[in-house]
Amino acid sequence: MSRPTLALIGATGAVGTVMRDIVSTRDDVWGEIRLVASPRSAGKVLRVRGEDVVVRALAPEVFDGVDIAIFDVPDEVSAEWVPIAAQRGAVVIDKSGTFRMDPDVPLVVPEVNPGDARDRPRNIISTPNCTTLSMMAAMGALHAEYGLRELVVASYQAVSGSGVAGSARLYDEIEALAGDRSIGQTAGDVRKALANKLPDESPFPAPVAFNVVPWAGSYKDGGWASEELKLRNESRKILGIPDLKVSATCVRVPVITTHSLAVHARFEREITVADAHRVLEAAPTVVLMDDPANGVFPTPADVVGTDPTYVGRVRQAVDFPNTLDLFVCGDNLRKGAALNAAEIAELVATEF
């Protein structure tokens, strides 16, 4: 039996770089791997599976003979090119937000709803936003046994969620402010110091260094940020709970990579900390780090560059029945992006 051909679209970006590493280090189920990017990147030579591969320009014919295509491109590029790839016979796994809420496109997290990947009327499978993915393996495991009913979430999101430009901006801000111990003690002094040293253009509406920014995404009705509504809508679809009550506040923090979430979760049935520990310890892609008396809990610095979802600070909510509070960390470029797409692709590859 021949191995399926895989195409990586957006292979030169931040997530595309991680994707190349992931497909090079996981079990090799692929035949040919094609690397595809915008015309300006065409002709570059990149390594994948220990081989040099020439990047191809995005064009209809690049999908000829492709069995599975993973897209990591902006929404507007996905809207144009994903249907073309699907029409030419590829099963498309799309990372953008374009198709996530389409009723004919499954939104898949393999640990939670792998069966949904088989039901794809448009030949498209969508993968969730990195913030949703950072908690979904843990919440899916708990929901399966205790029935999730409500979520209140505060996210602490790394700057790489805004791509290469986000990471570059934080590094530039840190470099511009380094060594000045007077910074951060007067209102507006961080902005003023940066204005004298860096261009105004930034992926963020406020400085991230020496700061946190209570905004991620674009403005939506009612004062909501798009990241907050994504977390609500995507959680409902993935878990199959259309009436799940969700409220989120998304905050950008001065961390390069790895999102963190403080989660307040109410369940249908009584649940204890011991119950949660048992479920989470049994979940194959979750790592429990929960011994706060001895300083054991997950932080981005401990998690970055790894694949699991890490959970700690699991507590019984004092004033809320059937409710737990917990803290979750996940690398937003790996499980939050590239790894989930790769895992879906591997599921689909078993069909060939």
Instruction: Write out the catalytic residue numbers.
Output: 130, 259
Strands (E), 138-244: 148-157
* Total Cβ atoms within 10 A of residue 235: 25
How far is residue 248's CA from residue 131's CA, in Å, rounded to a whole number?
11
- CB distance 196 to 124 below 8 Å: no
How far is residue 229's CA from residue 225's CA, in Å, rounded to a whole number?
7
- CB distance 130 to 334 below 8 Å: no
Query: What DSSP assignment string belongs to 290-345?
Result: -BGGGTB---HHHHTT--SEEEEEEEE-SSSTTEEEEEEEE-TTIIIIIHHHHHHH
How far is residue 352's CA from residue 341's CA, in Å, rounded to a whole number?
17
How far is residue 165's CA from residue 203's CA, in Å, rounded to a whole number?
7
Query: What DSSP assignment string belongs to 11-36?
Result: TTSHHHHHHHHHHHHS----S-EEEE
**Helix or strand (DSSP H, E) at 266:** strand 259-267
